[in-house]
C-alpha cells in the first residue's frame, strides 16, 4: 500500500494503474476511518483491480469552524487501516494542492470556484448546513478528476450527499457511483466518525434516533403511506427526548427516494426514506432509513 501526500502524485499513480489496464475503485473519505469506511474499501477491493482512498478533511464543506477544528485526524492510522482493508493507494493533500493556483490571498477558494450541487442539495441538510453541499460537490468533483476511477463508493448514511455526488460525475456519467448500506453498531447506532466525540450518556441519547426510525418503519409496515403521518410518528417518538433536552432535533422528515424534493412530498408514497438530524451534546448526528426496504442496516439491528 502506498501513501502519497500530494494529489498530483496520486493522479500520476492512478494514470499509471489505468494505463496497465487496471480498473480503479475509489473511496473518498475525511479520515477517522471506522468499520463503515472499511466496508466501502473492502467492497471496492472486491470489485476493482486497484482501490484508491483519499483522506482529506475538506474545509469547504464545514459550516462551523469548531466542527472543522475538532474533526479527528490521524493520517498514518487511517492509511494503515485502509491498507489492511485492501486499499492500494491512500492519498491526502492540502487545499492549495487540490486547487492549485485558485486560492485567494487569504488561502480560501473564491465562492465562484464552488460547484453548484444541484437540486438534491435543497432542503434538510442543505438548509441546515448552508454551503455544505457546494463544498462537498466541489471537492468530490475535484477528487474524481484526480483519481478518474471507474467506480466510487459512498455510504448511505449520508443520504442526501449520495444524491449530490451523482452530479459530480463527468459528462459520460463516470464514475459509477455505488451507494453502500449504513453500518451500525450492535445497539443500532449508525457508525460515524463523530461518534468518537459522544460520552457514555450521549451514546445512550443518540439511540433515540434509532428508536424513531424503527417506529417509522413499523408504521410503514402497518400501512402508513402519507408523509405527514409518518413525520408525525417520528416526531412523537422523539418528543420525550426533545422535552428532556437529551437531543436537540434539527429535522425529522420523510422524502420520496424516487424523487428528491426540498419539502415534504404530497400524496400516497410507494417508497419512503426517513431522515433525521439532531445534536446530542455538542455532536451533530444524522441518520436515515428506507422504510420500504428490509434489511435497512448492516451490522446491528435498527
Ligand atoms: O462523506 C464524506 O466523508 C465527505 O463528505 C466526502 C464525500 C469525503 C467529501 O469530503
Q: pLDDT of 16-48, one tens digit each?
A: 999 999 999 999 999 999 999 999 999 999 999
Q: What is 2-180's CATH topology? A: Rossmann fold (3.40.50)
Q: Where are the domains of the chain?
A: 2-180, 193-301
Q: Do domains 2-180 and 193-301 have the same CATH topology?
A: no
* Average confidence (pLDDT) over 256-278: 97
Q: Does 160 sit in the ligand 1 pocket, CB within 6 Å?
A: no
pLDDT in tens, 195-246: 999 999 999 999 999 999 999 999 999 999 999 999 999 999 999 999 999 9
Q: Which CATH number fits domain 193-301: 3.30.1300.10, 3.30.750.80, 3.40.1190.20, 3.40.50.10490?
A: 3.30.1300.10
Residue 128 catalytic?
A: no
pLDDT at residue 47, rounded to an integer: 98
Considering the entire predicted model, what is its pTM?
Answer: 0.96
140 Cβ below 6 A of ligand 1: yes
CA of 165 to the centre of ligand 1 (A): 9
Nearest to 203 by CA among 246, 147, 235: 246
Amino acid at each position: 500500500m502506498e501513501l502519497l501526500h500530494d494529489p498530483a502524485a496520486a493522479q500520476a499513480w492512478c494514470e499509471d494503474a489505468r494505463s496497465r489496464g487496471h480498473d480503479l475503485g475509489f473511496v473518498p473519505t475525511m479520515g477517522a476511518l471506522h468499520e463503515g469506511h472499511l466496508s466501502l474499501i473492502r467492497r471496492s477491493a472486491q470489485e476493482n483491480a486497484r482501490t484508491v482512498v483519499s483522506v482529506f478533511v475538506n474545509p469547504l464543506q464545514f459550516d462551523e469552524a469548531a466542527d472543522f477544528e475538532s474533526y479527528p485526524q490521524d493520517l498514518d492510522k487511517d492509511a494503515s487501516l485502509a491498507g489492511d482493508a485492501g486499499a492500494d493507494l491512500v492519498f491526502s493533500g492540502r487545499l492549495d494542492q487540490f486547487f492549485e493556483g485558485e486560492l485567494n490571498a487569504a488561502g480560501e477558494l473564491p465562492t465562484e470556484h464552488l460547484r453548484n450541487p444541484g437540486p438534491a442539495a435543497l432542503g434538510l441538510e442543505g438548509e441546515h448546513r448552508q454551503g455544505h453541499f457546494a463544498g462537498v460537490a466541489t471537492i468530490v468533483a475535484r477528487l474524481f478528476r484526480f483519481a478518474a476511477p471507474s467506480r466510487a463508493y459512498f455510504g448511505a448514511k449520508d443520504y442526501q450527499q449520495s444524491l449530490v455526488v451523482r452530479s459530480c460525475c463527468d459528462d459520460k456519467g463516470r464514475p459509477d457511483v455505488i451507494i453502500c448500506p449504513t453500518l451500525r453498531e450492535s445497539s443500532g447506532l449508525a457508525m460515524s466518525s463523530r461518534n468518537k466525540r459522544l460520552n457514555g450518556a450521549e451514546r445512550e441519547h443518540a439511540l433515540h434516533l434509532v428508536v424513531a426510525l424503527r417506529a417509522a418503519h413499523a408504521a410503514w409496515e402497518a400501512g402508513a403511506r402519507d408523509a405527514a403521518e409518518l413525520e408525525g410518528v417520528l416526531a412523537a417518538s422523539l418528543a420525550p427526548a426533545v422535552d428532556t433536552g437529551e437531543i436537540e432535533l434539527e429535522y425529522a422528515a420523510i422524502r420520496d427516494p424516487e424523487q428528491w424534493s426540498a419539502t415534504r412530498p404530497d400524496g400516497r408514497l410507494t417508497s419512503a426514506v426517513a431522515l433525521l438530524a439532531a445534536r446530542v451534546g455538542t455532536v451533530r448526528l444524522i441518520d436515515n432509513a428506507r422504510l420500504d426496504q428490509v434489511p435497512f442496516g448492516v451490522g446491528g439491528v435498527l
